[in-house]
């Protein structure tokens, strides 16, 4: 049968863009459908605009820190409108840039939402399109609990377009998104309260790292309502009244509440049943090579709910294209994936947590830790601490995990991640000369 395209991709986010361009480079006829700005969550309403806001939030601390180095005090003024306008402009520029990349690669962009008609046919608007292979890369979306007044809350998508800065800001949740936006708004001068159901943020991270980030955020001025949850939200004259339950149940009145309690695959309207594509737990079921229950249909990225990170979606997308169109089978490992939390203080991690290591290797696990004031703050007087940790399996001396909380943690761990992925030992770390004076040298001097 003659198809319109060799590959049709649904979703022009990180995974879809990477796979479509790679497939086209092998000579495949490729089209990609997108009903929003090209770029996906990362470019439009995730990693990129968030990181720009993170940068903006750092300046308030730098103004204070400069005084210890002899600079005179200043009273800076922050313009929220200027920031969100600049961020939106950059997002749109990047989206257009990705469109140009598709054009150069020879990938046809089709504007609209695609849904399945059958295993080889999709419908976009009033157009029916056939393809030999179809890749689903639609990403995920924020979800909100069903409680009274939840419609008064906002989600992370809304943060980049708020017309005014909320002076009293609450965040409900303890994951990446909640922690990062709590830090951003705090750094920009808002009064911030983070509401979490447990006693520590960032479930799943190493316990020392969780505690260090939470302590650092508290030192920066973020208020925590621990072991507490939201029961209802009311619109009142003073703003939003948040009714709580748990250990810290006193009602809270704020200007805005960010609901960051979770995300799920964005599968609404795809009509997967028409193509015989099955889901498990609300995510598209795939094999290791990203193949769905329909042999010619594949899925990558957050819609599969494996490891929901931009670089992972890109790697999965390229591996799919290399395997199916480049005839060079590629396998993606979902182990030892480094990940960062752009909180204040920043954190990054790769490999196993101490808990995971002890569960697998028991008493053979040894941990090496350092906690110190970074040299930069020797003159500022700020209560800043860096935490570093290596987790080692003593029988082989292999480094199982590396963790850091502190300035530039993500930049440092990116290099360390190479060593962990290669199977470096503690002896390899010890044999490496440090760069002095830096925080990073602590990783090769831990005892």
What amino acid positions are annotated as catalytic residues? 436
Determine the Cα–Cα distance for residues 18 and 13; give it in Å rounded to an integer: 8
Give Cα 425 to chain centroid, integer Å.
29
Give Cα 289 to chain centroid, integer Å.
23
Residue listed under structure tokens 């969100």: 84
Structure tokens at 325: 């169109």
CB atoms within 10 A of CB 27: 11
Structure tokens at 29: 């006829």
Contacts for 178 with CB less than 8 Å, ≥ 6 apart: 171, 172, 194, 196, 201, 258, 260
Contacts for 166 with CB less than 8 Å, ≥ 6 apart: 185, 190, 254, 255, 256
Residue listed under structure tokens 């009293």: 168
Q: Which of 165, 154, 202, 229 is nearest to 341 (CA)?
A: 202
Q: In Å, what is the CA distance from 161 to each residue of 165, 184, 409?
A: 10, 15, 28
Structure tokens at 203: 């479930």
3-state secondary structure 90-135: HHHHHHHHHHHHHHHHCCEEEECCEEEEECCEEEECCEEEEEEEEE
Give me the helix-helix angle, 176-187 and 47-67, nearest 10°.
40
For strand 127-136 and strand 121-124, is the pairing parallel, antiparallel, or unpaired?
A: antiparallel
Contacts for 216 with CB less than 8 Å, ≥ 6 apart: 343, 344, 345, 384, 385, 405
Determine the Cα–Cα distance for residues 198 and 228; give it in Å rounded to an integer: 7
């Amino acid at each position: 049968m003659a198809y319109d395209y060799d590959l049709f991709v649904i979703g022009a986010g990180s995974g879809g863009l990477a796979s479509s361009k790679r497939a086209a480079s092998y000579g495949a006829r490729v089209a990609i459908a997108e009903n929003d700005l090209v770029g996906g969550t990362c470019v439009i309403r995730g990693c990129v605009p968030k990181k720009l806001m993170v940068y903006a939030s750092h300046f308030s601390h730098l103004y204070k820190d400069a005084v210890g180095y002899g600079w005179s005090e200043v009273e800076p003024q922050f313009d929220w409108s200027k920031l969100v306008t600049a961020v939106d402009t950059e997002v749109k520029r990047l989206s257009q840039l990705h469109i140009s990349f598709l054009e150069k690669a020879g990938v046809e962009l089709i504007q609209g939402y695609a849904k399945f008609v059958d295993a080889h046919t999709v419908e976009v608007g009033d157009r029916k399109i056939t393809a030999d292979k179809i890749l689903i890369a639609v990403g995920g979306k924020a979800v909100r609990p069903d409680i009274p007044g939840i419609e008064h809350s906002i989600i992370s998508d809304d943060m980049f377009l708020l017309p005014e800065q909320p002076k009293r800001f609450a965040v409900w949740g303890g994951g990446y998104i909640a922690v990062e936006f709590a830090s951003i708004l705090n750094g920009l001068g808002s009064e911030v309260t983070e509401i979490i159901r447990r006693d520590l943020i960032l479930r799943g991270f190493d316990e020392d790292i969780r505690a260090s980030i939470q302590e650092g955020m508290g030192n920066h001025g973020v208020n925590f309502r621990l072991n507490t949850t939201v029961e209802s939200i009311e619109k009142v004259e003073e703003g939003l009244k948040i009714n709580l339950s748990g250990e810290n149940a006193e009602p809270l009145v704020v200007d805005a509440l960010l609901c960051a309690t979770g995300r799920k695959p964005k599968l609404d309207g795809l009509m997967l049943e028409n193509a015989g594509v099955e889901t498990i737990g609300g995510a598209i079921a795939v094999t290791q090579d990203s193949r769905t229950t329909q042999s010619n249909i594949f899925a990558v990225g957050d819609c599969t709910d494996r490891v929901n990170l931009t670089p992972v979606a890109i790697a999965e997308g390229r591996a799919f294209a290399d395997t199916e169109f480049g005839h060079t089978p590629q396998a993606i490992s979902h182990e030892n994936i480094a990940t960062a939390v752009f909180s204040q203080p920043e954190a990054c991690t790769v490999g196993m947590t101490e808990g995971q290591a002890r569960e697998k290797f028991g008493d053979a696990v040894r941990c090496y830790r350092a906690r110190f004031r970074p040299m930069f703050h020797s003159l500022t007087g700020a209560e800043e601490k860096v935490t570093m940790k290596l987790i080692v399996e003593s029988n082989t001396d292999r480094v199982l995990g590396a963790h850091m909380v502190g300035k530039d943690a993500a930049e440092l761990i990116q290099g360390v991640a190479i060593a962990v992925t290669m199977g470096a030992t503690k002896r390899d770390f010890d044999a490496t000369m440090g760069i002095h004076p830096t925080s990073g040298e602590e990783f090769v001097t831990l005892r």
